[in-house]
Amino acid sequence: MSLFRRKYTHKDGSVGYTWNYDFRVLGQRHKGSLGKLPQAEAEAAYTKMRAMGRESLARAKTHALEQRLGLSPQFDAFAPEYLAYYRTHAKPNSAQRHAYAYEALRGVFGSVRLADITPGAIEHYKQQRLAMGRSPVTINRELAFLKHLFRMAITWGRRPAIP
C-alpha cells in the first residue's frame, strides 16, 4: 500500500511530521507510525517490514519501536548496571553467585539486545551448558539471574516483557 508523511500540530502551534505506513501481508492489514525519522530511514524500515512474513512482523514493530526509543540495551551494557544494583541490595554470597552467572551468560548473550533474547535462545543455552557437563542446578541458578535481570529491566523501563 503506502508509506506517507502525516502532518500534526503541537499545542503551541508548531508543526511536525511523522512517517506512517499502511499495507497488507498475507491478507492481514498492518498500519502504524514509524515516528519522526528521516525519509531514508523511514523508507528502509517500511521496505524491511513489507518483506517480512506475518510471524515476524509484530516482532519487527516492537524491535523498531524499542530501537527508536532506546528501550532495549545489549546484555553486556545492562548486566553490569544490574549487578551494581544487586550488590547493594543482596547478601555478598548472592551477589557473587550472580557475578558467576553473568560470566557464564555473557559468552552466549554478550552482544545480544535484551529484546532479542527469546525462549528458543534460552533453551539453546541450557542445552549448551548441559553438553559442557554443567549441573542442572547450576543452569537453573544462571537462569534465575537472567529472569531477575529481565524483571529489573522491565521495572526500570528498559525491556517490555520477559521472553
pTM: 0.57
pLDDT in tens, 6-41: 888 888 888 888 888 887 766 677 788 888 888 888
> Looking at 16, 39, 69, which one is the last position of a domain?
69
> Looking at 44, 69, 94, which one is the last position of a domain?
69
**Sheet-wide strand order for 15-25:** 2-9, 15-25, 28-35
Give the residue numbers spanning the domain of 21: 2-69
How far is CA 9 from each of CA 6, 16, 31, 37, rounded to the nearest angstrom?
10, 6, 21, 17
Together in a domain, 95 and 45: no
In a domain, 161, yes or no: no
pLDDT in tens, 130-140: 999 999 999 99
> Looking at 18, 36, 69, which one is the last position of a domain?
69
Together in a domain, 90 and 49: no
Together in a domain, 65 and 127: no
pLDDT on residue 54: 47
